[in-house]
Amino acid sequence: MRFASSCVTLALGFISTFSWAQNCPLLGPAYLAATDVASPAFIAAKAKFDDAVASSTQINKEKVFFAVEIYSSGSKDAGSIHRYYNTPPAQNGAVNVGPDTLFRINSISKVVTVYTMLSKLSYKYWHEPVTKYIPELANAQPQDVSDVDWSEVTLGSLASQISGISRDYALRDASSVLPAVPGLRTLKDSEVVRCGSGLLKPGPCSRAESMRYVLQTWPLASSYRTPNYSNMAFQLLAYAVESITGTPFQDLVTEQILNPLNLTRTFVTHPGNDSNAVVVDGWDIDFGDLDPGAGYYSTLTDLTTLGRSILNSTLLPALTTHKWLKPITHTSSLRFSLGSPWEILRESVPVTTTQTQTTETRRVVDFYTKQGGGGDSYTSLLGLSPDHDLGISILTAGKGSETTMLALRQLFVDVWLAAAEQAGRDQAGVNFAGNYTLGDGDNNSSLVVLSLQPDEPALMLSAMVSNGTDVLELLRGTTGLGGEPGEARLWFYPMGLVAGGDCRKRIAFRAAAGLAGRSADENCASWATGDRLRWGNYPADELVFETGPDGKARAVEVPVLGATLKRVGPV
């Protein structure tokens, strides 16, 4: 068969792409997120999750109060996938845990603080130095390695755990409880911490006391050099936002977050004697001005509403949400990065729950979390998987709460992320896989075939014929990538580009090239291969699906061919 020169160029361009990628998925969702929370994959996951909780030796059902919800970005009623509650049987007279039971959420308060700032100010002041907005820091000039260079500490660095400043200025400082320690230096009276230690007495520090201690702290590192956890960073961030807006920060949280989302059971100060609260050690600690870093209280219902609002960009423009749900820095762990203030777990998720190969094919999924608390008091988690529009809320309290929360978090990764991937895959098979032609009488002179293949991620393009010319012919054969055997294929991923309304949408997908049957190479670079080949600036690696009100594809546009083909049936 003779090929038009354009088709030869097209094929050679795709072959050159293989030098960059070996069936390497693009980062981001492999499919559109599943919309049916009652899909078979989710139903199976419920039973698997409940059985795992019941049999787990790490989840302390005898001593730990906990509440868990797995949810999608759908509405409150339609989006809840599964809930699980545990009230320890030996807790006579204790509250019976339910959706509106109150827990401390500790450091999840940091997410609320950044959310408040972004909803009010977006990223306008993100790169501004904190010295512009906190006058107590403006005149602090560094003289030695013991001094923070506050002029280099930005609001964004405070929100992202990369400011280089100390973890705390008073919390858990030993001088608050011990008059002296043998072998350690003798402290001046002004150096002894007399407030804000996290104890019930003497209570929190005033702003003046806080700032005096802040100015005494040593830097951990220079700003932006290495990540380090800091609670006091969020107190300073709240002070800066107050200065910019002229509004007390507690009022801003209420105005920007609590009221718009109707979070009637979330409190930015101590809620008092609440009849539906889990009260264990630590309930009454007053953090004062440190509350934006660790002081808030909430319920399963409200925490889920908060997480769902982030997935849906309810309070933020979608662009701001996309920017927020991205890493700011890595850590020394290959699987753990940090955002603002997200703790991002890089998980390896099976591409299907029904794999046929001995070795599972997996792809990377970034799981955005924020843990609150730890130890044997209150431990909580807000977790989001933007790839799947899926979230989890975990609230625990009691002896062994942290171990219990970590076990529940791992079950979300092992059970629910895999289920969400499978649910999206099943939905893609129904909505997009199939044969596409120019229509009746075309006799397959123009044809696109998309399918889901066992153990392979995303929608696979296995045929593309244009006016009788097999565009993929030169990609087939046994040479493959670098002489490796295998058939060249293209896998298509949704790119978040959608036009139209409920009745008709146009949804753009882009391709990653590779060899069928090959597991993804950890060193592949699919991010560098997109849009490498164009024809008059029409992308050769794009498909645009046209869907109806039921979400099913009616047709697919192939821009490089200048053709729109109708969906005529399954593969």
Residues 6+ apart with CB under 8 A from 49: 70, 82, 84, 411, 415, 416
Task: Tell me the CA distances in angstroms from 370 to 77, 387, 389, 403, one per residue in order.
Answer: 24, 17, 17, 16
Among positive and negative, which fits the CA dihedral 26, 27, 32, 34?
positive
Q: Residues, the chain, total? A: 571
* 3-class DSSP string for 403-427: HHHHHHHHHHHHHHHHHHHHHHHHH
Beta-sheet strands, E only, within 331-475: 336-338, 343-350, 362-373, 378-385, 390-397, 434-437, 447-451, 459-466, 469-470
Residues 6+ apart with CB under 8 A from 258: 264, 266, 268
User: Known catalytic residue: 80?
Assistant: no
235 with 293: CB under 8 angstroms?
A: yes
d(CA 543, CA 166): 50
Which is catalytic among the residues 19, 146, 206, 229? Answer: 229
Which is catalytic among the residues 80, 107, 157, 385? Answer: 107
Q: Which two tokens stand for residue 60?
A: 């302390």
109 with 291: CB under 8 angstroms?
A: yes
Helix ranges (H only) for 73-190 are 76-79, 109-121, 135-138, 155-159
Residue with tokens 């150096």: 191
User: Known catalytic residue: 160?
Assistant: no
Residues 6+ apart with CB under 8 A from 497: 507, 508
Residue 468 region, left (φ>0) first, then alpha (ψ -120 to 50), else beta? left
d(CA 464, CA 468): 10
Residue with tokens 């032609």: 437
- 3-state SS class at 454: coil
Number of H helices, E strands in the chain: 15, 21
Residue with tokens 């030169």: 474
- 3-state SS class at 469: strand
CA dihedral 238, 239, 241, 247 (to 10 degrees): 100
Q: Which residues are catalytic?
A: 107, 229
